[in-house]
Amino acid sequence: MAFDYKKEYKEFYLPPKKPGIVDVPEMNYVAVRGKGNPNEPDGEYKTAMRLLYGIAFTIKMSYKGNHKIEGYFPYVVPPLEGLWYQDGAGTDIDYSRKDDFRWVSMIRLPEFVTREVFDWAVREASEKKKTDFSKAEFFTYHEGSCAQCMHIGSYDDEPEIIKNIEAFLKEKGYKTDFSGHRMHHEIYLSDPRRTAPEKLRTVIRLPIAKE
């Protein structure tokens, strides 16, 4: 049976709707950085999706080709994730300024994917798909202490959920900590092309520190 990260690591991918605190270890991703409104039909975000999934599935399907990856195991491609920020904000994102969004879109890589394996996947995808995959990067991210919860509903309703998280943090003696590389993090468990907005499932995760 294929290894499913969502099922094996439920504390990171399937949290309850009530906010909680979690310590997130270091993980490796295929990532693409960009800026702008993710809803733009032909914007950078849509291009990033093609690059991310092109690399992710090149690695997943490598067992069918001549390139054998040491330690490979069958797995389900993990869900799409995103780190979001805005220049000079120093706080959480402002949803009314979507054109000012900067983001790191990413998909978790299995543990057997080394930088060498990743570089092979970029070359392989570029050759087979006749597309430039050079913007895809091997990205290591260690979040540490975070508050998170499951949001069910439209992306535009997220500010209310964030208020709930902030109220929870105040009660527990914590505060959000958007400093350095620590950013607003979302994990997308639903496909917005096939799911009604009110049924979308999104993990919202915010970096925190003691008050």
pLDDT, one tens digit per residue, over 155-169 is 999 999 999 999 999
Nearest residue to 135 via CA among 33, 21, 205, 208: 33
pLDDT class for 203, splitting at 50, 70, 90?
Answer: very high
* Higher pLDDT pick, 92 / 81: 81
**Residue corresponding to tokens 């540490």:** 144
Q: Residues of the chain with pLDDT > 90: what percent?
A: 92
pLDDT of 176 higher than 90: yes
Q: How far apart are CA 129 and CA 30, in angstroms?
A: 17
| Average pLDDT of the chain to the nearest whole number | 96
- For 82-129, write each residue's pLDDT tens digit: 999 998 767 899 999 999 999 999 999 999 999 999 999 999 999 999
Residue 98 Rama label (left phi>0; alpha psi -120 to 50; beta):
alpha
Q: Strand 20-24 vs strand 137-141: parallel, antiparallel, or unpaired?
A: unpaired
Q: Which domains, ranges and CATH numbers included, belong to the chain?
A: 13-210 (3.20.80.10)
pLDDT class for 179, splitting at 50, 70, 90?
Answer: confident
Least confident of 33-42, 58-67, 85-94: 85-94
Q: What is the pTM of this model?
A: 0.96
